[in-house]
A and B are shown apart, each in its own frame.
Chain A
Amino acid sequence: DIQMTQSPSSLSASIGDRVTITCRTGQTIGNSLNWYHQRPGRAPKLLISVASNLQSGVPSRFSGSGSGTEFGLTVSNLQPEDFGTYYCQHSHSFGQGTKVEI
């Protein structure tokens, strides 16, 4: 399995802030990278597929970028419902998660 490394592991931000999470992979994967959001006790939710494709119903303040081995997830104008943990994923591998505290 491919090594997936997210940074930071956690962050604290305020409402209205812009935050960026990075995911680095151990080998090049093209744009085959997905992002999920999980709140405590809830199922993960797909936010972005193939690096930058925003899923239907996901607010436009979420955006994804990158290719190869380095990817980013940006949340602009952070809202209270955005707290939780964000995971990157490729095939059977997940990053270790980035916990966002408001």
Chain B
Amino acid sequence: EVQLVESGGGLVQPGGSLRLSCAASGFTFSSYWIHWVRHEPRKGLVWVARITNDEGNTAYADSVRGRFTISRDNAKNTVYLQMNSLGLEDTAAYYCARDGGFGTPFDLWGPGTQVIVSS
């Protein structure tokens, strides 16, 4: 089955860290760019970060640059999102999604993992 599955979410205190994983199966993982998109309660969908398929070039939203790091392991068909210095504003459902690169749409999404930042 062609799918993406996120894991690693949970409850964390402000200033804490989490590492999310996105495991892919059923397709040629190394051919796709992978993005993290979060659903913020009052803003809707917000793009967070992406990593390209080949050289692993990365890009980040201004709100997370310097705190979050996206990486991938093509041998494990997995993308990671290391999240440090978490704040209340990072509370959201986090989704990974794939695209074919260069402006193609997000045609496959995972079911999401919830991150709650609270003291």
The chain A residues found within 8 Å of chain B, CB to CB, are 32, 34, 36, 38, 42-46, 49-50, 55, 85, 87, 89, 91-97
Distance to closest chain A CB from B49 (angstroms): 10
- Additional 7 contacts, C-beta under 8 A, given A43-B111, A94-B44, A95-B44: A42-B111, A44-B37, A44-B109, A49-B104, A50-B105, A89-B45, A92-B61
The chain B residues found within 8 Å of chain A, CB to CB, are 37, 39, 43-47, 50, 59, 61, 95, 97, 103-107, 109-112
When A and B form their complex, which 8 residue pairs have the shortest distance between CB atoms, in order from nearest?
A: A97-B44, A43-B109, A34-B105, A92-B47, A49-B105, A94-B45, A46-B107, A87-B45
Residues on B with C-beta less than 8 A from A42 are 111
CB pair B47–A46 under 8 Å, yes or no, is no
CB pair A94–B105 under 8 Å, yes or no, is no
Residues on A with C-beta less than 8 A from B59 are 92
Residues on B with C-beta less than 8 A from A44 are 37, 45, 95, 97, 106, 109
Instruction: Give the contacting residue for A93; candidates B43, B47, B95, B111; CB below 8 A.
Output: B47
Residues on A with C-beta less than 8 A from B112 are 43
Instruction: Give the contacting residue for B45; candidates A46, A50, A55, A97; CB below 8 A.
Output: A97
Residues on A with C-beta less than 8 A from B47 are 92-94
CB pair A94–B46 under 8 Å, yes or no, is yes
CB pair A43–B110 under 8 Å, yes or no, is yes
Residues on A with C-beta less than 8 A from B43 are 96
A50 and B104 CA atoms in complex are apart in Å by: 8
Distance to closest chain A CB from B58 (angstroms): 13
Nearest-CB residue, chain B, relative to A44: B109
A44 and B110 CA atoms in complex are apart in Å by: 9
A36 and B111 CA atoms in complex are apart in Å by: 15
Nearest-CB residue, chain A, relative to B35: A92
Residues on B with C-beta less than 8 A from A55 are 107
